[in-house]
Amino acid sequence: MSLPMTPAYASEASFSQDSSLATPRDFWLLMKPGVLSLVVFTAFVGAILAPSTIHPFVLLVAILSITLGAGGAAAFNMWYDRDIDLVMKRTRSRPIPAGRVAPHDALTFASLLSVTSVTLMGLATNMLAAGLLALSIVYYTFFYTAFLKRRTPQNIVIGGGAGAFPPLIGWVAVTGEIALLPLVLVWLIFIWTPSHFWALALYRSSDYANARVPMLPVTHGELSTKRHIIVYSILLVASAFIPVYLGDFGVIYALSAVLLGAAYLLLATKVWWIGGEKPAIRLFLFSIAYLFLLFLSMVIDHVGARFL
């Protein structure tokens, strides 16, 4: 299936050039609050697992900086993708396609958030953390949103790297150094992203096809996507044991990795075996819980080890 390099469905005339009806909530929605919650949580876990400590207020500012940076990147994405958002049912009611926020205001908002976040991070913690935050914003905005997303079905595999940065940034904000454990956390989110997104793309494939976004179900079909989901799920579940082999965590984490991994594989197998919308929705929702619970178990294991 051939796809245009840069589909443009809507001229600027399709969008409101006036944000006079926009409420603060619309700007909050530009930051993709659902995604933000996972970003903030994984960044916090990275900071908690770090071997040193910083003043709680500085930690708060660091987490706030990551929130603002991720929100800025999301707002850039909303600005750039406004043409396809207008076509897709799932995204039609977002602030820009719905006509509540003018594209140029969204762009200004995204720029302000990004610059503020990196500046704050640099002032509060260290330049390495600020640099990594800037890199993650650039990665998501330019590499994923503007370059990969409309060009290749591997968009979310490579682009997943952008969402994987937060635990590393959280760790570096505290220690000032890159270490093996936060890189393993980055790898876990990186390898988690494809099966998570393809589960969504499976039951939204007509939406993506209408918008001519080359997601795997659109370009390679359902069966190929399901096979990819299985392969990436196995890679994810296996990768979750790396921290155990490295000796970073004990029984609590290992047990969580086993149980959560078994449930993940079961749901992924159901997507492959049974098919249809329901198993895909279940896998998509569980994948979010999986990442949250796996990272939570790291914190419980880490804190528990201090007291036992």
Partner 1 sequence: MNKEQKDQAQRSRNTALGLVLAGLVILFYGLAIVRVGG
Q: Which residues contact partner 1 (rule: CB under 8 A)? A: 20-24, 27, 55, 57-58, 61, 64, 116, 120, 123-124
Shortest reach from residue 19's CB to partner 1, in Å: 8
Q: By the 8 A CB rule, do 236 and 195 touch?
A: yes
Q: What's the one-letter identity of residue 63?
A: I
Structure tokens at 134: 């800037």
In whole angstroms, what is the distance from residue 76 CA to residue 98 CA? 17
Expressed in percent and rounded to 5, the helix, strand and coil fractions of the chain are: 75, 0, 25
Q: What angle do CA 213, 218, 222 make, to 5 degrees?
A: 150
- Cβ-based nearer residue to partner 1, 120 or 169: 120
- Cβ-based nearer residue to partner 1, 19 or 225: 19
Structure tokens at 29: 């929605």
Q: What's the one-letter identity of residue 305?
A: A
Task: List the beta strands (DSSP E) in 167-284.
Answer: none
Q: What angle do CA 229, 182, 47 make, to 5 degrees?
A: 120
- How many contiguous H segments (helices) and E segments (strands) does the chain have? 15, 0
In the three-class reduction of DSSP (H, G, I as helix; E, B as strand; rest coil), residue 250 is classed as coil
- Cβ-based nearer residue to partner 1, 4 or 24: 24
Quick one: CA dihedral 7, 12, 14, 15, positive or negative? positive
In whole angstroms, what is the distance from residue 68 CA to residue 95 CA? 18
Shortest reach from residue 25's CB to partner 1, in Å: 9
Shortest reach from residue 48's CB to partner 1, in Å: 19
Q: By the 8 A CB rule, do 165 and 132 touch?
A: yes
Shortest reach from residue 55's CB to partner 1, in Å: 5
Q: Which of 205, 227, 218 is nearest to 271 (CA)?
A: 227
Task: List the beta strands (DSSP E) in 253-308.
Answer: none
Shortest reach from residue 9's CB to partner 1, in Å: 25
Shortest reach from residue 67's CB to partner 1, in Å: 13
- Cβ-based nearer residue to partner 1, 125 or 193: 125
- Cβ-based nearer residue to partner 1, 123 or 223: 123
Shortest reach from residue 132's CB to partner 1, in Å: 19
Shortest reach from residue 117's CB to partner 1, in Å: 12
Say if residue 7 is exposed, middle or buried (CB neighbours under 10 Å; 0-12, 13-18, 19+). Answer: middle
- Cβ-based nearer residue to partner 1, 106 or 283: 106
- Cβ-based nearer residue to partner 1, 16 or 233: 16
DSSP code of residue 31: T
- Cβ-based nearer residue to partner 1, 117 or 225: 117
